[in-house]
Structure 1
Amino acid sequence: MDSEDGRRVLDPAQDGAALKALTHPLRLTLLGLLRQHGPATASELAARTGESSASTSYHLRVLAKYAFVTEAEHRDSRERRWKSVHDMTSWSNEAMRRSPGGSTILNALHRRQVEHLQRSLDRHEADLESGRLGQEWQEPSGVSDSMPRLTPESLAELWEVLQAKTDELTARDAGDPRAEQVVLFTAGLPLAPDPVAGQGRADASAAPDATDAGAPDAPAAGDAS
């Protein structure tokens, strides 16, 4: 189902094959590149990813089969250009976990997103070190984590507030030449009490990094970035 804001909402009961197709890391990368940079050929995407043209061409055809990408206007007749059909893909987590094999697909998609975060962090650090990003980006950029105690309703509200604020600021900065692509990674992962430790103590491995508080590159309090 398509929404008016350029988002494709997938129904796990009807779109299971399409969701499974997204679990392949190269397909997610190709789709992300088309959404970020616009139409491209299989050869151009191969150069960006380090894959062969045959591989990118095959995976683009799979994405096209499930209506994630489609052919764009060709500059010449030698090679097809591809473009993304939607700006974003979403689904219901609850419906996903109820569907056969849905939990496996959802877990795989989450891990693909975390891998994307690692690649983005590597590039961000390289861009700062090389000077491709100006010094004005050093203070507002960063990674932060916290562990508030929230109800399901409050966590759902937090997602809505973050999305609304992101949409507002994106629209405000649309015509500003200083604006750059920002990888905004958000996660809301409730943790059950540790059954071994008891007393409601969470697993120490999931505790926030103590070095984050007051770290020079940590976003200011309340910064959605």
Structure 2
Amino acid sequence: MSIPHRRLNDPRELNALAHPVRMAIVELLSISGPLTATELADRLDETPANCSWHLRKLAQYGFVEEAEGGKGRQRPWQVPGLGFRWDTEHGTASIEERRAAQALSDVMMGRAMERLREANRRAPKEPEEWREAQTGSEMVAWLTADELKEMNEAVGAVLRRYIERLTDPAQRPPGARLCEFVAWGVPTYFPGVEPT
């Protein structure tokens, strides 16, 4: 199954999403399904009024929509699809788009790093099977542009292997837990190390 990405290229869209509370709302709706502003507020330690304001801002750009059922303050919200992509290539993106895309990337990566730190804090209390299953890795390698692209595509394919389980609880085996993988493959820069 391919992920139904939404391609973002308007700096206003990128900036609307580049806010920690809004990103948290989109993440929770993607993982948990429809929730009300009050339910979101309880999970995010925010006020319902603040969550409502952020939901309206997200809805303005089509990141969330009202779900069926409920009225007024009890109306649930949902995401219309999963995943986002944006271009930041210098040749195709405007300066404003690159800045907005970088801000969004920083928010997303910051949230992922916060979750990693939380997982590391909780690791000693996890059952042994889960402590043994989790890992982290980091590496550098000399690659051509074609090899880097191939590796990123291979990692992406592995990461998408269980994507259906996110939206279809019936596919989750007993004992499954929500897990997170963060990967990037980019040229890296070390002082005094030049490309060959």
Tell me, in whole angstroms, the C-alpha distance in 1 between the residues paired with 2:90 and 2:108.
20
C-alpha deviation, 1:128, in angstroms:
3.5
Q: Equivalent residue for 1:48?
A: 43
Question: Letter of the aligned partner of 1:71 in structure 2?
Answer: E
Which of 160, 180, 183 aligns to 1:183? It is 180
Calculate percent identity across the aligned residue pairs.
31
Q: Equivalent residue for 1:114?
A: 109
Tell me, in whole angstroms, the C-alpha distance in 1 between the residues paired with 2:57 and 2:45.
19
2:17 equivalent to 1:9:
no
SS in 2 for 1:107: helix
Question: Letter of the aligned partner of 2:183 in structure 1?
Answer: T
C-alpha deviation, 1:93, in angstroms:
2.9
C-alpha deviation, 1:183, in angstroms:
1.0
Distance 1:96 1:23, change over 3 A: farther
Which of 153, 165, 187 aligns to 1:160? It is 153
Which of 60, 64, 69 aligns to 1:65? It is 60
Distance 1:121 1:5, change over 3 A: closer
Q: Equivalent residue for 1:137?
A: 130
SS in 1 for 2:7: strand
Distance 1:96 1:128, change over 3 A: farther
Question: Letter of the aligned partner of 1:39 in structure 2?
Answer: P
C-alpha deviation, 1:16, in angstroms:
2.3
Residues 124, 131 of structure 2: 8 Å contact kept: no
Q: Equivalent residue for 1:200?
A: 194
User: What RMSD over aligned residues (CA atoms) do the two structures have, in Å?
Assistant: 2.6
Q: Equivalent residue for 1:147?
A: 140
Can you list the C-alpha shifts for 1:4-56, whole angstroms capped at 9, x where unaligned? Answer: 7332122x2xx221111111111111101110111111111111111111111
TM-score w.r.t. the length of structure 1 is 0.74
Tell me, in whole angstroms, the C-alpha distance in 1 between the residues paired with 2:50 and 2:67.
19
Gap regions ≥5 residues in structure 2: none
2:98 equivalent to 1:100:
no
Tell me, in whole angstroms, the C-alpha distance in 1 between the residues paired with 2:163 and 2:141.
27
Distance 1:66 1:76, change over 3 A: closer
Tell me, in whole angstroms, the C-alpha distance in 1 between the residues paired with 2:122 and 2:189.
38
Residues 72, 83 of structure 1: 8 Å contact kept: yes
Question: Letter of the aligned partner of 2:14 in structure 1?
Answer: L
Tell me, in whole angstroms, the C-alpha distance in 2 between the residues paired with 1:145 and 1:60.
36
C-alpha deviation, 1:104, in angstroms:
1.5
TM-score w.r.t. the length of structure 2 is 0.84
Tell me, in whole angstroms, the C-alpha distance in 1 between the residues paired with 2:82 and 2:94.
25
Q: Which has the larger helix fraction?
A: 2
C-alpha deviation, 1:113, in angstroms:
2.1
Distance 1:180 1:96, change over 3 A: farther
Higher RCO structure, 1 or 2 (CA under 8 Å, sep 6+): 2
How many aligned positions are there?
191
Tell me, in whole angstroms, the C-alpha distance in 1 between the residues paired with 2:142 and 2:47.
47
Distance 1:76 1:110, change over 3 A: closer
Gap regions ≥5 residues in structure 1: 202-225
